[in-house]
């Protein structure tokens, strides 16, 4: 078991299995099927991300370096939360980008009974250590436990 301290972007606690991407998450490409065609499991549709493509993202601790893609990224995260198709949490090894931060914060503030804690600045060591299926637990203060 290892612990990593990050910076809280959207507050909350969560425990979920890890889903790891070593490349950036293209939010639009990844969540398009979930938002457009009603895929409640939020199966990743980004063919350019071999770590995530075809895997269920809803309810997982999504571990990644950063998001990439178009300016729709924040809206896509907000919409995934509003449709209850969001990951259990987002954990960034790097500082979060402004679009992902905006979507995460808006979802936390505007949506009732929806939680998607977001922690960034966990470091490269975090992303090197965590593997798919490991249990991730997030505390309110941004402490991330990986088991």
Task: Tell whether the model's pLDDT for residue 57 goes beyond 90.
Answer: yes
Which of 45, 25, 52, 42 shows the shortest CA–CA distance to 79? 42
Share of the chain above pLDDT 90, in %: 96
Q: Which tens digits make up the pLDDT trace of 88-115?
A: 999 999 999 999 999 999 999 999 989 9
pLDDT of residue 16: 98
Show the domains of the chain with their CATH numbers: 2-146 (3.50.30.10)
Angle of the 27-37 helix axis to the 73-82 helix axis, nearest 10: 40
Give, in order, the Cα–Cα distances in Å from 138 to each of 8, 68, 118. 10, 24, 9
pTM (global) more than 0.85: yes
């Amino acid at each position: 078991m290892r612990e990593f301290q990050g910076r809280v972007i959207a507050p909350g606690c969560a425990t979920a299995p890890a889903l790891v991407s070593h490349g950036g998450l293209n939010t639009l490409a990844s969540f398009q099927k979930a938002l457009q065609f009603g895929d409640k499991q939020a199966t990743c549709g980004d063919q350019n991300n071999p770590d995530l493509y075809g895997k269920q993202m809803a309810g997982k601790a999504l571990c990644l370096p950063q998001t990439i893609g178009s300016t729709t990224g924040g809206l896509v995260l907000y919409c995934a939360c509003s449709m209850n198709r969001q990951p259990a949490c987002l954990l960034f090894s790097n500082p979060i980008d402004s679009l992902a931060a905006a979507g995460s914060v808006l979802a936390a503030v505007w949506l009732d009974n929806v939680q998607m804690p977001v922690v960034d600045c966990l470091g490269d060591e975090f992303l090197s250590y965590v593997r798919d299926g490991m249990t991730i637990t997030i505390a309110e203060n941004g402490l991330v436990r990986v088991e």
